[in-house]
A and B are shown apart, each in its own frame.
Chain A
Amino acid sequence: MNRLQVLWQSTVGKKAVMAVTGLVLVAYLISHVLANLLVFDGPERVNRYAALLHGTGGALWSARLVLLVAVILHVVAAVQLTLRSRAARPSSYVAGREPQASTLASRTIRWGGALILVFLVYHILHFTTGGAHPEFIELNPYHNVATGFRNPLVAGFYAIAMIAVGLHLYHGVWSSGRSLGVSRPSPRPLHRRLALALAAFVWLGFTAIVVAGYLGVFGRAG
């Protein structure tokens, strides 16, 4: 067997793939939230940023390709491992199993991930291609955000999805270091300050935009 096969066919290797692809996506999310927070600065800068990205042409599409591959690998590994996990305990405990250490984030990592995937498709249709946005204007993110969140259903779905993203990061950022074997030993191995800070930042950043958009903080001027 060659080395990549050895890794991909093992549970430890698949988790490493999930960790690496997850961290790639987290790095993107951080740049995404930082860029999006420009909407609070008025239409000019955020629209200029969008134009700048689109001006790069090839770079934008290479980045999109990397993200797409990361999402696909992450999801394929997750589905395969989940099926494996189900098969590993065919009959469950009659009296249930009392969770001792798992967190809400770790227990919702799978369904939360599925929700995020559905959200991702909608989000691309909503803000990237515009197909799901009734007032979409190409290359005018300020306008699209300002109008896109006035609908309470849309804002609500975004808000829920951002909770899922926050929980996903809270467990995923912490556990990826362990899946890759790079975390330092700790007397309290379940503590995760970095993951908490990152998850909270990403969740708050995106949620602030959704809430502000819903409340009409962004004028239609853009």
Chain B
Amino acid sequence: MNLILHIWRQASPSVPGAMVRYEARDISPDMSFLEMLDVLNERLMERGDAPIAFDHDCREGICGSCSLMIDGLAHGPHRGTATCQLHMRSFRDGAEIRIEPWRARAFPVVKDLVVDRGALDRIIAAGGFISAPTGGAQDANTILVPKPDVDTAMDAAQCIGCGACVAACPNGSASLFTASKLTHLGLLPQGQPERYARALTMVRRMDLESFGHCTLHGECQEACPKEISIDTITRMNRDFLRAGLTAGRAAVAESD
């Protein structure tokens, strides 16, 4: 198949970028979207042009590296998949495809389609962990967890931190990301001791990183390659408000 691509090119964070038109001929419909870009890059290099920079690693939807806004949709038109799992058969022959990086103040463009998603790492560093004494691992069955809690926690734990929720959100909010981590850890017994302090510190970090707020458009859950539900956001709000109102000065002080 033959395609016309409009791709965001930006040499560095400090210079302005623009959409550049490319023609991609003889593309196999069985290629993944990233393989199609690989082919384009090889051809660009053959003619001595700089290849298009884009993030990728696992190419099987588990690492969260790939991050493309394709025709205005985070990770493209296929629901519940990351860009690396999108195949060219999802497009028709002759299609014009527009490819842009995630856009948010918190995600500065590094080069072309690559953005710096360090802000998400800093939200995790603010509280997205549990503290446990080291030592011999316990037997897996000594801590029992109700099945519905396991299911909800594991659904939330599927988050790969790609940032599609931020990219698709009209407010540039990282609520779904933060809420996924809070849901994952807040539902499991190991996450209980730090549950409310965690809600305070992670939400505060999210705000400090200049992400927007949540107005519940629901765009994030549609864009999420792991189809994480906005129910997690309800849970984040509940834990944060409870922490702020009732968890006592200790949790508030601890989060300062």
Contact = CB atoms under 8 A, between A and B. Distances in A.
Interface string A6-49: 11011111111000000000000000000000000000000000
A81 interface: yes
Interface string B73-100: 1000000000000000000000000101
A6 B229 CA distance: 26
B237 A100 contact: no
A102 B234 contact: no
Contacts of A153: none
Interface string A171-185: 100110111111101
Given A88-B210, A101-B221, A185-B229, A13 B241 contact: yes
Q: Interface range on chain A: under 10, 10 to 19, 20 to 34, or 35 or more?
A: 35 or more
Contacts of B237: 12, 15-16, 178-181
Nearest to B8: A94
Contact of B241 (A12, A90, A174, A190): A12
A221 interface: no
B114 interface: no
Interface in B206-237: 206-207, 210-219, 221-223, 229-231, 233-237
A178 B210 CA distance: 22
Contact of A100 (B104, B223, B256): B223
A99 B223 CA distance: 10
A128 interface: no
Given A6-B252, A85-B212, A95 B105 contact: no
B213 A11 contact: yes
Interface in A87-117: 87-103, 106-107, 109
B25 interface: no
Contact of A99 (B8, B219, B230, B245): B219
A190 B8 CA distance: 33
